[in-house]
Structure 1
């Protein structure tokens, strides 16, 4: 569960009242620089709020915004997932299951720096899911994935939601989350708006927030 009450991260957004309950799926959209990643940082406690309160109940699974691992990093995919699992990482079978769940079982013994961007994204997903989180925070997890892998990622998170986890997904790729997210938070220079997808993604609503529709269009997977 995640709850913001009277929350602000000045100068990006303010007066945010938001709750994502167990079994909820929130998509966060908006143009670059409007505070989407900051929202997740505040939920994680790595950035303080300007005012208000935030409560996040875990364990928390965190999929950070993509940054390529150094090519010479002397760690295998299995090693990184084990580190994310903490004490549970001693359970080799558990780590193997997490990699298999995201379709990365064949990458277990590969050095992460040699993996493609899409393969590294899958390893990050395994890191986030290995501890069976009750709250999943995902910052642009669809980057570097082709359309099929994007759909599989959203379906995977939706399955976790169906099992009782709360999911918050920051994305520019709106199409894959339609029909899965039950609410959308749009952050923009004109303010924020929270509601069902059909309301928030309406062009008229976006215009009222001072943002044109293309600002949240699906830019396609990166190569």
Structure 2
């Protein structure tokens, strides 16, 4: 089976109406999220279209992960409203896939890669699970789709960071979600694995029309895939196409110091950011507010 085919949705869940004129799959209105006196972001209006790849960027503590928690129905807004697929977030269920932040697993963990993906397939079910034969075939398809079938029987604690992320993506795709939420899936990965993980997510988006909300600190690996960028900083935000948000003027105001954005072979590259981060990384802002 070709990996590209196995990343496509199952026939029963395939969605055909994913044009720009379709209803937003995520709609946020006048949203504010605060913890006490600390406002993460205020008056956020956001519509995410079917099949769109939205990259969410910003410094630590700017509310990127909290935004995903809101979309998952695990965090209430301080003010405003949010709907997912036309309903409150907690009703989306299996229609949303979630790739959590990577956490190191002990080497002695007995859970195999296959077992982790199987939990995504029927771990949320009450009562009897899926029949062993069809479930195993589906797990193998998912592992093959992300290039993880060779280590299906390997305990996840013995896998490299890049290998673990492949397995987590397979787990998140187990229910053929219409929306895929990714929380820092590139964290602690080298550049090659960052590109591999981004390509896997984007291939699913292109083949299945899955909407992607991709939280990351690593700008450049996602710029070729992102339709829009949402940049959260200083209690505010900036949203638009990468070419509008990722500019020298905008990022210099966000960072509070000179940041240069240049184009190399058709790609945007951020250079000269604080702490002398490599060009393929996003340096952490030092408290600058939004423009």
TM-score (norm 2): 0.70
Rounded Cα–Cα distance in structure 1 between residues aligned with 2:73 and 2:256 = 29
Worse overlay, 147-156 or 198-207: 147-156
Worse overlay, 187-196 or 68-77: 68-77
Alignment match, 2:281: 219
Tell whether the 8 Å contact from 2:33 to 2:41 is kept in structure 1 after alignment: yes
Tell whether the 8 Å contact from 2:191 to 2:280 is kept in structure 1 after alignment: no
Alignment match, 1:70: 106
Residue 73 to residue 164, structure 1, CA distance change in 2 (3 Å) = same
Residue 78 to residue 199, structure 1, CA distance change in 2 (3 Å) = same
Alignment match, 1:18: 46
Matching residue within 67, 80, 85 for 2:116: 80
Report the secondary structure of 2:200's partner residue. Answer: helix
Q: CA deviation at 1:89?
A: 8.3
Report the secondary structure of 1:123's partner residue. Answer: helix
Residue 54 to residue 97, structure 1, CA distance change in 2 (3 Å) = same
Alignment match, 1:37: 65
The CA RMSD over aligned residues, in Å, is 2.0
Number of residue pairs the alignment of both structures matches: 220
The correspondence of residues 97-116 of structure 1 with structure 2, limited to 5 A, is 97-116=141-160
Alignment match, 2:172: 128
The structure that has the greater radius of gyration is 2
Q: CA deviation at 1:9?
A: 1.0
Structure 2: gaps of 5 or more residues: 1-24, 86-91, 123-128, 260-272, 283-291
Alignment match, 2:240: 195
Q: CA deviation at 1:103?
A: 1.3
Alignment match, 2:227: 182
Worse overlay, 206-215 or 79-88: 206-215
Q: 1:76-113, CA deviations, whole angstroms, 9 ceiling, x for partnerless residues?
A: 11011101111568511111111111111112101112
Tell whether the 8 Å contact from 2:29 to 2:46 is kept in structure 1 after alignment: yes
Rounded Cα–Cα distance in structure 2 between residues aligned with 1:49 and 1:171 = 22
Alignment match, 2:286: none
Structure 1: gaps of 5 or more residues: none
Q: 1:103-139, CA deviations, whole angstroms, 9 ceiling, x for partnerless residues?
A: 1111210111222222211211111112211100001
Worse overlay, 144-153 or 1-10: 144-153
Q: CA deviation at 1:209?
A: 3.4
Residue 24 to residue 88, structure 1, CA distance change in 2 (3 Å) = farther
Alignment match, 1:4: 28
Rounded Cα–Cα distance in structure 2 between residues aligned with 1:56 and 1:122 = 26
Q: Which of the pair has the greater relative contact order for Cα pairs under 8 Å at 6+ separation?
A: 1
Residue 140 to residue 89, structure 1, CA distance change in 2 (3 Å) = farther
Residue 210 to residue 190, structure 1, CA distance change in 2 (3 Å) = farther
